[in-house]
Amino acid sequence: MPNVNKRRLCGEFRLSDIGKEVNVMGWVDSLRDHGDILFIHLRDRSGIVQVVFNPAKSSADVIDLAGKLKTEFCIGVAGHVIERENDTKNPVLLTGDIEIVADELEIYGKSPALPFAVSEKAAEQGEGVIVTEPVSEEIRMQYRYLDLRRPSIHDNMVKRHRVCKNIRDFLDMCGFVEIGTPVLTKSTPEGARDYLVPSRIHKNKFYALPQSPQLFKQLLMISGFERYFQIVRCFRDEDLRPNRQPEFTQLDIEASFIDEEFIYELIESLVVKMFETGGIDLPRPFGRMPYSEAMDSVGSDRPDLRFGMYFKDVTDIFADTGYEIFKQILNRGGVIKGIKVEDSSGMLSKNVLQNEYAKQIVPSFGAKGMTWMRVVGDTLQSNIIQFFSEEEQAAALKRFSAKDGDVILLIADMSHKTVASALGQLRLHIAERLGLIPDGIFSPVWVTGFPLFEETDEGISSTHHPFTAPERKDFNPQDREELLSLRSRAYDLVINGEELGGGSIRINDSELQHRIFETLGLSEADVEEKFGFFVKALQYGAPPHGGIALGLDRVVSMILGTSSIREVIAFPKNRNAYCPLTDAPSQIADKQLDELGLLDFSRPRNIPGMHEEKELMDSLSWLSRIGIKDEENNLIESALDDAIRLGSVMKKHAGDEEPAFSTVKIENRYRNGDTARVCDLAKSGDLLKNAPSIKGGFFKVANIIE
């Protein structure tokens, strides 16, 4: 039988192995049955080798057993290596010059019919890597253990390991120490919702899974380690996005006695080494762009610099325009910006510009519309060009350096933020549509000088987190205008429009940290409850320090060029934060909930609105959010009395029997057909015409529970 202690890997064999007795183990990747001779491709973690079952060279028992093989059977083979005939050699396989003649065969594990093809190699001679049949991601995730057998996905995991090894080797040489931080920790506000873990021992108290090791890595700096890193799992209960996971891995770095330049130099050197794993040479030094410039030039703090189309401000050109729409916007303090799309006149027809972009696409980006101008010769053409003077047209041509065949796209709005956002999305949409983004180009840039604070519906909040150092310390926590003008010592690393990581120089002064908390509206009690342990530590000689966290899943996905971060995570959740493999999240037994004290409904709860539940009618009105007029009271009270009386009669006759909530048999009801379609009313817009309010294309209703 095959000897596991003498096993060799399938991908190792070369012509130098001819004549050797060998043992190989793995999975049947593919089979070719030529009637009298059976060929299989045997696959393990190293690659593929061809095994031959020949009645002239193998025993009848081995041939009989080989006839039962199917794809993905796990087997072991003992045999000897021979050279293939010249006309049967496979140049695509590294082992294509040899094959193993099977002397012994053992089936370790059988496999039923597969939900999808695992093999990515063609068994026929001369064929290379082939594209497997399309498989839904949900099925792939459900059978992830099979999906991971596919060489391309397997290779992703191995390369991810190589990236992590490079990280550890590099940071070790730079004097960094890898230290683990707690997974069960205290819930602190860091911008997203925490995943909470109830404690069985401490009833009605909860741990939180860390959104990042932020406070612990700062405590490690106070502890004197000076240089820390960790490849750490983090958790954020965020709203769903296509390329986001509820649990993710980040490279966490913190160092003492440093400034921004140390971080830039360290991370650029590290990231270059990480990308070399995928055969990518990143240009150095990385570019640097202030936040304000990024917003003014591309409308995003994640600038994609692989192509041009930077914004031009033309507000001054149309300051005295006769075009009424522009005039109204500018009179109310608005702004007009635009982009030039070179040599695109033939690809952007009037119908596309007017009916697609101006009426549909740009409004979906948040702007009210778009103005376009086509350059023909040395003049501008548009459906509204007659409203602009010759001087305005000439100035616009000069501002954009526009030439024949170019198209100019303008967005005007009272909100500068709306113009930047909508024009930034339009820039990317046009570039992708017209294929203006070059392949194989990487444009890394540091985005710096972020606002320290931002204004929200709840008041002033931190743009990053409350531990980021401000550019200056002499600010007034009560001066709202000054606070919103403050810049932080924060920085983001962006490559090709994707934020791969971010960090900042931290606050190491407990008094300054208290002033930040005061600015955010946190009382002394709030600070003590949420951050008391950390603020106390800052008083014990905290060194100046700073750091950064890189999203490892994102970085590896970009290095390997995968369509999603799920392709570089062994067991990811799907787009709905659900695991088809394990059926998580799932319900748990009441006994477990009871052990955690989560079934204890006896303790008093202050439910919002309880004080309004004075009488039955008031309670009904409050619960249903329906205003009851005086003239309706008598009728509704009579109906309630009847319902209560009927309930009493039913209870009397039912005795101990459970109430019957419905006497109708429960059945599922489905629409006819199996093809999804958009409702006609939705197409016409009539579906929402009676909505009291619309938000994001949805019928907005009042809250049921405050």
- Residue from 572, 489, 555 nearest 250 by CA: 555
642 or 364, which is more confident? 364
What was the pLDDT predicted at 656? 66
Tell the residue number behind the tokens 């369509």, with chain if given. 563
How large is the average pLDDT for residues 370-390? 94
pLDDT in tens, 146-190: 999 999 999 999 999 999 999 999 999 999 999 999 999 998 765
Q: Is the pLDDT of residue 657 over 50?
A: yes
pLDDT at 68: 96
pLDDT at residue 124 in the model: 41
Q: Cite the beta strand spans of 540-675 per DSSP E.
A: 545-551
Domains, in order of start, for the chain: 4-109 (2.40.50.140), 307-433 (3.30.1360.30)
Query: Is residue 125 over pLDDT 60?
Result: no
What confidence score (pLDDT) does residue 129 get? 47
Interatomic CA distance for residues 656 and 678, integer angstroms: 49
Band (625; pLDDT cuts 50, 70, 90): low
Give the 3-state secondary structure percentages of the chain, helix then strand then coil, rounded to 5.
35, 25, 45
Taking 70 as the threshold, does the pLDDT of residue 134 lie above it? yes
Number of Cβ atoms within 10 Å of the Cβ of 494: 26
Residues with Cβ within 8 Å of 44's Cβ and at least 6 positions away in sequence, in order, are: 9, 10, 11, 24, 25, 26, 27
Strands (E), 451-600: 453-456, 459-462, 490-495, 498-505, 545-551
Q: Which helix (H) or strand (E) holds 519?
A: helix 510-519
The CA distances from residue 420 to 301, 399, 425, 430, in Å, are 11, 18, 9, 15
Are 335 and 372 in contact by the 8 Å Cβ rule? The answer is no
**β-pairing verdict for 177-178 and 227-235:** parallel
pLDDT reported for residue 706: 44
Say how far apart CA 169 and CA 523 lie, in whole Å. 44
Residue 691 — very low, low, confident or very high, per pLDDT cuts 50/70/90? confident
Q: pLDDT by residue (tens digit) across 532-564? A: 999 999 999 999 999 999 999 999 999 999 999
pLDDT confidence bin for 128, thresholds 50/70/90: very low
Q: 161-165, 226-230, 239-243, 381-385: which range is least confident on average?
A: 239-243
Coil, strand or helix at 131: coil
Q: Tell me the per-residue pLDDT of 566-615, one tens digit each, with 9 for 90 and over.
A: 999 999 999 889 999 999 999 999 899 988 988 875 555 554 555 544 56
Q: What average pLDDT does the segment 481-503 reach? A: 96
Mean pLDDT of the chain: 90
Looking at residue 602, its pLDDT comes to 56
The residues near 306 (Cβ < 8 Å, ≥ 6 apart) are: 437, 438, 441, 442, 443, 496, 497
What is the average per-residue pLDDT within 122-129?
43
Closest CA to 182 of 234, 226, 250, 227: 234
Q: What's the token pair of residue 483?
A: 């606070």
Q: Name the band, by pLDDT with cuts 50, 70 and 90, for residue 662.
A: low
The tokens for 196 are: 């909470």
Torsion sign, CA atoms 277, 282, 287, 293: negative
Residue 659 confidence (pLDDT) above 90: no
Which pLDDT does position 433 carry in this prediction?
A: 96
User: Alpha-carbon torsion 163, 164, 167, 173, what sign?
Assistant: negative
In angstroms, the Cα distances linking 176 to 173, 213, 252, 276 are 7, 16, 11, 21
Three-class DSSP category at 449: coil
Which residue's structure tokens are 């594990």? 109
Q: Cα–Cα–Cα angle for 52, 55, 59, nearest 5°?
A: 100
Share of the chain above pLDDT 90, in %: 75
- What is the β-pairing status of strands 227-235 and 47-53? unpaired
Q: State the CB neighbour count (10 A cutoff) for residue 58.
A: 22
Mean pLDDT of 691-698: 69
- Hey, what amino acid is at 221? M
pLDDT tens per residue, range 386-403:
999 999 999 999 999 999
